[in-house]
Amino acid sequence: MYVTAAILSVLLALVTLAAGAPKTVLKGDVSAGLQSHMGLSAGLVRFIGLAEVSATVGLIVGLFWQPLGIAAAIGMALMMIGAVGYHIQVGDYANPETRGNALAAVVLVPFFAATAVTLVLAI
């Protein structure tokens, strides 16, 4: 089970780092879109980015100390559920132009949950 947990943790760490780093420094289309289209403040976008980068660290360190990895995976699953709710609120799933980016949060929730479960089973 540890091998599965390690693979999921590393892959999700790469995803969260790639998503969080640009938000942390407020660079790129995603940060601009979150501010203009979604109406989020620059501070909130930066906070989300920092949470994603922190989850990256938690997922990697969690390979050696599972409680941290479990917490990071659960935290990111909850954050993605919140993102889904916010995307529903602004109507992204009904709009074909914004649906693709919004679906990333839906797809990632089960992967973060599976990572948490496999880390628990690897203890």
76-90 pLDDT, tens per residue?
A: 999 999 999 999 998
Average pLDDT over residues 52-67: 96
Q: Which of 93, 119, 95 is nearest to 5 (CA)?
A: 119
* pLDDT for the residue 17: 96
Burial class of residue 89 in the structure, from the number of CB atoms within 10 Å of its CB (0-12 exposed, 13-18 middle, 19+ buried): exposed
Q: Is 76 within 8 Å of 55 (Cβ atoms)?
A: yes
Are 26 and 43 within 8 A, CB to CB? no
Q: Confirm whether pTM is higher than 0.85.
A: yes
Distance (Å) of CA 122 to CA 9, 27, 72: 12, 37, 15
pLDDT band at 97 (very low <50, low <70, confident <90, very high): confident
pLDDT band of residue 52 (cuts 50, 70, 90) is very high
Residue 26 has φ and ψ, to the nearest 5°, of 55, 45
99-113 average pLDDT score: 93
How many domains does the chain fold into?
Answer: 1
Share of the chain above pLDDT 70, in %: 100
Residue span of the structural domain in which 56 resides: 2-122
